[in-house]
Structure 1
Amino acid sequence: MPLPRVPHLRLPAGALLAVACLAGPVCAPADASPADTSSAHTASTGADRDHTLHKQLDQLVHAPDGPPGVIAVLQRGDESRIVRAGVADLDSGRPVEPTDHMRIASTAKAFSGAVALRLVDRGALGLDDTIGRRLPELPKAWHAVSLRQLLQHTSGLPDYSRSPEFGRIITADPHHRFDSRRLLDFVAGEPLLFRPGSRYQYSNSDNIAVALMAEAVTGRRYEQLLRRIVDRPLGLHRTSLPQGFEMPEPYMHGYDVQPSAAPEDVSELIGASGVWASGGIVSTPKDMTRFIRGYASGALISPSTLHEQRRWIDGASEPAGPGKNKVGAAIFRYATRCGVVLGHTGNTPGYTQLIAATPDGSRSLTFSLTTQVNQASKPQLLKKLREVEENFVCALLRD
């Protein structure tokens, strides 16, 4: 159901609440050794594959409701390939770069998972710890919900971002500064949607509660925990969790794209305070590559915690990722025709994201679009996007 119109923008509820390209073919190394070109046949085959991949991105860019820009970073060991189409900024026409900032949308949920699982490893938190034990100030009706259920989206918590009052506030003032630690107040009077653990339902409330649990057991702010136990160990130098709406330079401009109108820049439409641990992080393709390789492989946690992270149940990310989706603890399993990768997706006004890596972290893919694509707003484009993402996974896994 569409929200009331913000001036000059049509903002579907799924788009706003998921809180929720001029350049020719490019294939360049990013902080990595060049591809092996010792054989003319190998070089020719590689060039053909890159041309095919770029053609698919170009088709996305030229779709009537497609993104002005798209960039994919494929990394195998120390070797990276960048495939991109379109532009980062329609005004300047400059190409998208792997060091451009972007809103990472719900892939930020994997970061809150990383924080929580590191605290589990340290014994500060337990996967069976409940809201009642760690956050007793939250509604009593929610007290039986466990950390594991929050991370797997089987909690039954009502989604605060679908609250009519939240929608009214953000529609009237998209730059409204929320108290991020009180976002669950919007649904505090509501019961659980179902018995905890009985089924899967994606909810932005889950990762807000995860962050609050992390703060409760450490006495530190979530932003500080992110920097200390995730960003620094993985070498993420351009990743932040802001409160405001401004984007750091340089950045990929995100656009609202409708077939009947010119693309409208929505990069700074909404502030991050209203999505916080559920989708407020700003990062770059380069940093996201580092993150997903470390997170998917278990580089931050012990083998026993990694085993718990990979207890798969049926459930798709939002938007759905390539292939058949299953969900673990703040990570999804994407079983494609060419093999399995682990990761997360996300969408928010102006941006759509996929981050994925092989279970050992040796190969990874980040895939970023500069418009929002989801089942509610652009089902046909999402279908095409998932096909292209699967083709890129196949290119990543191909020997």
Structure 2
Amino acid sequence: MSPRTYGHDRRLRSSLLLAAAAAVCGAVVGALAHPAQAAQAGDGRDPARTAALRQELRDLVGAPGGPPGVIAVLRDHDRTEVYRAGVADIESGRPPKASDHMRIASVAKAFSGAVALRLVDRGRLHLDDTIGEVLPGQPAAWHRVTLRQLLHHTSGLPDYSGSQGFIDIVSEDPRHRFEPRRLLEFVADEDLAFRPGSRYQYSNSDNIAVALMAEASTGRRYEELLRELVYEPLGLERTSLPRGYRLPAPYLHGYQLAPAAEPVDVSEAVSASGAWAAGGIVSTPKDLTAFIRSYAGGGLISNRTREQQFTFIPGALSQPPGPGRTDAGLAIYRYTTRCGVVYGHTGNTPGYTQLVAATADGRRSLTFSLTTQTSLTLNPDLLARVRHVQEDFVCALLRR
């Protein structure tokens, strides 16, 4: 089966539109799954558990409407296991690898959180700093919103990615190159959706504002701050924030799936500039594993700041929801599963669905990447199945 490749055909663009806006808001026969390292005698792994996890991924890929590929990285202290099923590229048939690039979608919000919280530790920002104090050029109606509320998604900022102006541009050309620092102008004439701090509402505008506050407080570009405060300390050599639609090779190809239709390769269908700090980062499963172990484990910030970060809003969902019950902290989520608790973030964008999570000490982690998009409104049945599989992987991680 050969996939169609996204181009500027309006029929494909129209079917992609809702997925693109929401993100910034058995297609394959046969499967391959195996751990990256051969099991060593006495290494503590349960062969039955390993076989069951492999089979779950095979079943996920082989199910009607299942993703073309999936890769899961389990990290336990200094031991890494990579499970994969399906393919990274339908045309070549090669298996997914932990070194493949991919769009991490809203997991990028955890990166903007890491930048902001590190600046809080350095005294360059404070959690109670307001938009009016740091970004006085933003609409006066938004001036009382604090950095804490932006990171908690309790700001009330209207979501630029849901504005008609933004949607019209993406509809006409999903590869349009936006000026990221002007994305909030799409909703600059709108008031707050609610009184800041009064309730939770996930908004892509929040993390754009976080990045702008980071820039204003340091006089440095956000991309430079990412490199200095996150990439370099953690050795993330294959993580970047591009402006265009190209992905560095090799990469996991992301697909749009529809019943009774060939999969459409949408890996390079949408410009990252329209998501920027809210979802534009490109990384690899290997790099994301290193990031979430340090981020969830407190390796990037002080204990004092982490206490503030780990103040959770019960029942507040990430997008898409992760395994188990979800509660929202400052740019991090708590996932309470039947086997225990992990902390991390999820994301979805055309062609990709992501989960990264780790224990509170950062010693055990899961990176789970799917090569099609799922959400509560887009392919919800597949999302329900994915969440079940993710929870089983969390249980395998915590029960070792």
Q: Normalising to structure 1: TM-score of the pair? A: 0.95
> CA 1:83–1:150 in structure 2 vs 1: closer, same or farther (change >3 Å)?
same
- Residue of structure 1 equivalent to 2:317: 316
- Residue of structure 1 equivalent to 2:35: 27
RMSD, aligned CA: 1.4
Partner Cα distance (1:227, 1:6) in 2: 37
2:174 counterpart of 1:174 = yes
- Residue of structure 1 equivalent to 2:11: 7
2:391 counterpart of 1:390 = yes
Tell whether the 8 Å contact from 1:12 to 1:377 is kept in structure 2 after alignment.
no
Q: Give CA deviations for 1:22-56 in whole Å, capped at 9, x if unaligned.
A: 44221123xxxx655238xx66xx22212111111
Tell whether the 8 Å contact from 1:113 to 1:151 is kept in structure 2 after alignment.
yes
Structure 1 SS opposite 2:367: strand
Tell whether the 8 Å contact from 1:64 to 1:258 is kept in structure 2 after alignment.
no
Tell whether the 8 Å contact from 2:350 to 2:372 is kept in structure 1 after alignment.
yes
Partner Cα distance (2:286, 2:254) in 1: 18
* Letter aligned with residue 363 of structure 2: S
Partner Cα distance (2:261, 2:219) in 1: 49
Shift of 1:6: 4.1
- Residue of structure 2 equivalent to 1:193: 193
Partner Cα distance (1:6, 1:62) in 2: 30
Tell whether the 8 Å contact from 1:255 to 1:350 is kept in structure 2 after alignment.
yes
Unpaired runs of at least 5, structure 1: none
- Residue of structure 2 equivalent to 1:344: 345
Q: Normalising to structure 2: TM-score of the pair? A: 0.94
Tell whether the 8 Å contact from 2:20 to 2:270 is kept in structure 1 after alignment.
no
- Residue of structure 2 equivalent to 1:238: 238
Structure 1 moving runs of 4+ over 4 Å: none
* Letter aligned with residue 13 of structure 1: L
Q: Give CA deviations for 1:278-297 in whole Å, capped at 9, x if unaligned.
A: 00000000000000000001
- Residue of structure 1 equivalent to 2:208: 208
Structure 1 SS opposite 2:109: helix
Structure 2 SS opposite 1:26: coil
- Residue of structure 2 equivalent to 1:276: 276
- Residue of structure 2 equivalent to 1:334: 335
- Residue of structure 2 equivalent to 1:94: 94
Partner Cα distance (2:108, 2:201) in 1: 18
- Residue of structure 2 equivalent to 1:55: 55
**Which of residues 13, 16, 22 in structure 1 aligns to 2:21?**
16
Tell whether the 8 Å contact from 2:17 to 2:170 is kept in structure 1 after alignment.
no
- Residue of structure 1 equivalent to 2:75: 75
Tell whether the 8 Å contact from 2:318 to 2:346 is kept in structure 1 after alignment.
yes
Tell whether the 8 Å contact from 1:111 to 1:226 is kept in structure 2 after alignment.
yes
* Letter aligned with residue 21 of structure 2: L
* Letter aligned with residue 94 of structure 1: R
> CA 1:6–1:149 in structure 2 vs 1: closer, same or farther (change >3 Å)?
farther
Partner Cα distance (1:341, 1:19) in 2: 25
Shift of 1:64: 2.3
Tell whether the 8 Å contact from 1:15 to 1:377 is kept in structure 2 after alignment.
no
Tell whether the 8 Å contact from 1:35 to 1:79 is kept in structure 2 after alignment.
no
* Letter aligned with residue 190 of structure 2: E
* Letter aligned with residue 311 of structure 2: R
Partner Cα distance (1:368, 1:120) in 2: 31
Q: Give CA deviations for 1:139-189 in whole Å, capped at 9, x if unaligned.
A: 000000000000000000000000011000011011111010000000000
Partner Cα distance (2:372, 2:10) in 1: 17
How many residues in Structure 1 have an aligned counterpart in Structure 2? Answer: 387
Partner Cα distance (2:392, 2:17) in 1: 29
* Letter aligned with residue 269 of structure 2: L
Tell whether the 8 Å contact from 1:109 to 1:277 is kept in structure 2 after alignment.
yes
Q: Give CA deviations for 1:120-146 in whole Å, capped at 9, x if unaligned.
A: 000000000000000010000000000
Shift of 1:258: 1.1
Structure 1 SS opposite 2:12: coil
Q: Give CA deviations for 1:59-97 in whole Å, capped at 9, x if unaligned.
A: 221222221000000000000111110000000000000
Tell whether the 8 Å contact from 2:31 to 2:58 is kept in structure 1 after alignment.
no
- Residue of structure 1 equivalent to 2:109: 109
Shift of 1:207: 0.1
2:46 counterpart of 1:38 = no
Structure 1 SS opposite 2:228: helix
* Letter aligned with residue 34 of structure 2: V
Tell whether the 8 Å contact from 2:32 to 2:95 is kept in structure 1 after alignment.
no
> CA 1:6–1:341 in structure 2 vs 1: closer, same or farther (change >3 Å)?
farther
Shift of 1:316: 0.7
Partner Cα distance (1:307, 1:59) in 2: 40
- Residue of structure 2 equivalent to 1:164: 164
- Residue of structure 1 equivalent to 2:3: none
Partner Cα distance (1:243, 1:7) in 2: 25
Shift of 1:15: 4.7
